[in-house]
Structure 1
């Protein structure tokens, strides 16, 4: 059951909130009483998503934010503080992933740089801009969205390296920010049904069978984990990585099937 008070009075900024996991996070934190700034590089789509939530009585507004641009990030943070009076929660959802070239030696510097700049350095920019305000709130929390790609091989060299880097940034920033009253944690999803999988239902069904719990994730599964880590229910948790993957990285389903374990 959703707690409609956990984020009452909280100012929240969510990046990559136009669709998918980011949109689900914006909805969940608003349902729990938060005042949410849903940011995305795609402003029309973010505005559409925010308007839909406002029609349901939720306190959500949209703003453009390109996390590859420092000025854009700082403007979004300033917008949230001005609109809500404080910034209490930052959720880093925005990312960029480029399909691998057939051969590793054919990967380009530009591809590598783009994926790391958006996925890892973008989150760094957001944390840097938000941290003074999160510290001032007295209850600040940062939750970033990682990936099982950062834990083991699922392809995508640059994207995976960037997501692994988020794990390290989570730990080092948690150590720095703890004395300032800000908690920093990471949610690591497995395969989640988003628009990225549209038209690839056969692949998604095959992947579903690799998850011990028998299904792929939904954006709401990840949003629930984010809401926990951002809330006071997780007041003594910082620097942790919470894997939300239906058992994908804990259980080797192919091995178990091969040796016929009961």
Structure 2
């Protein structure tokens, strides 16, 4: 009897995940590995990738666009393009507009947008020649509406526009590009905030209709779906994984209409 493989599986597929050693990145690696993918983990330092189930590793600093492109070109020359890419690496200082200057703006753009372009541009070209490939950009709800972090927000919005460009102009060559936009994700990055102020979530969670932050595995599950054949007809899409934050203003409903 012939059994058909689930379209949600990624058995035999190679997937490059950047920022693989971070809070979301480690969940991405684990979930893609569990889906059958051969995961190529990328980060700045080898130590960040220790203990992860990786088929291969690539080291580069995405803030350096030239070095990033050179490293990826060398990898493609040696191994070919991966079947899928999850462009996850990013960074923000959690600033507001009064704290932004030219240096802050440039540094946020360097890693979050320019570096992501340098990473994926040669891969997209190789995928187009091959006739197939999938990309997922990990953006943010900050690309949809303003929640602070102005420079980061602009860069993450740029990823959405870039993904749509790939979807439109490379779709004919079989390349798909989609975006996942997480809200607040409960990663170790929150630990120092909670240690400094254990009540900080009292101000955060009322904004989220699900009443909680998103778990990193929920972001990873969305990325796996978009890279899989189950999403073969989806390209140029933006998928919020945000516990309902961008669906509407729960706090306004509660405080103004319900009078809580």
Partner of 1:66: 61
Change (3 A) 1:235 1:244: same
Match of 2:228 among 199, 209, 231: 231
How far 1:186 sits from its partner (Å)?
Answer: 0.3
Offset from partner CA, 1:195-234 (integer Å, 9 cap, x none): 2111223323431232111210011000000000111100
Match of 1:217 among 193, 214, 219: 214
Partner of 1:142: 135
Partner of 2:92: 97
Question: TM-score, normalising length from structure 1?
Answer: 0.87
1:153 is aligned to 2:146: yes
Provide the aligned C-alpha RMSD in A.
Answer: 2.3
Between the aligned partners of 2:205 and 2:55, the Cα distance in structure 1 is 33
Match of 1:176 among 169, 176, 193: 169
Question: TM-score, normalising length from structure 2?
Answer: 0.87
1:131 is aligned to 2:124: yes
Between the aligned partners of 1:191 and 1:210, the Cα distance in structure 2 is 10
Task: Give 5+ residue unaligned stretches, structure 2.
Answer: 1-5
SS in 2 for 1:242: strand
Change (3 A) 1:231 1:4: closer
Change (3 A) 1:207 1:213: same
How far 1:137 sits from its partner (Å)?
Answer: 4.3
Task: Give 5+ residue unaligned stretches, structure 1.
Answer: none
How far 1:261 sits from its partner (Å)?
Answer: 8.6
Offset from partner CA, 1:52-85 (integer Å, 9 cap, x none): 233xxxx4332212123323344245436745x5
Between the aligned partners of 2:69 and 2:202, the Cα distance in structure 1 is 37
How far 1:128 sits from its partner (Å)?
Answer: 0.6
How far 1:36 sits from its partner (Å)?
Answer: 1.0
Partner of 2:258: 260
Identify the structure with bigger relative contact order (alpha carbons < 8 Å, sequence gap 6+): 2
Partner of 2:183: 190
Instruction: Name the stretch that deviates more: 60-69 or 6-15.
Output: 60-69
